[in-house]
């Protein structure tokens, strides 16, 4: 989970870079940023309730 969260955060950094350097339209960067925010929130939620994801 930690690796996935870290990778998602790194992708957000690249989105900022791409937008700042003109490789990506601001609207596209914002849309993808929000998608990654949602993904990170899901990962944090899963980590906070890991006991529900363990096969017993």
Is residue 20 in a domain? yes
Is residue 55 in a domain? no
In this predicted structure, what is the pLDDT of residue 54?
81
- Domain hosting 23: range is 2-47
Predicted TM-score (pTM) of the model is 0.79
Instruction: Give burial (CB, 10 Å; 0-12/13-18/19+) of 24.
Output: middle
Is residue 29 in a domain? yes
More confident residue, 56 or 32: 32
Domain count, the chain: 1
In this predicted structure, what is the pLDDT of residue 42?
92
Q: Residues 10-36: pLDDT tens digits?
A: 999 999 999 999 999 999 999 999 999
Is residue 54 in a domain? no
Distance CA 36, CA 51 (A): 24
Q: Residues 34-54: pLDDT tens digits?
A: 999 999 999 999 888 888 878
Is residue 30 in a domain? yes
Distance CA 50, CA 56 (A): 12
């Amino acid at each position: 989970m930690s690796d996935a969260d870290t990778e998602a955060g790194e992708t957000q950094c690249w989105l900022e870079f791409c937008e700042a350097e003109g490789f990506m339209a601001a609207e596209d960067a914002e849309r993808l940023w929000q998608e990654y925010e949602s993904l990170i929130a899901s990962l944090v939620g899963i980590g906070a309730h890991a006991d529900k994801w363990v096969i017993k």
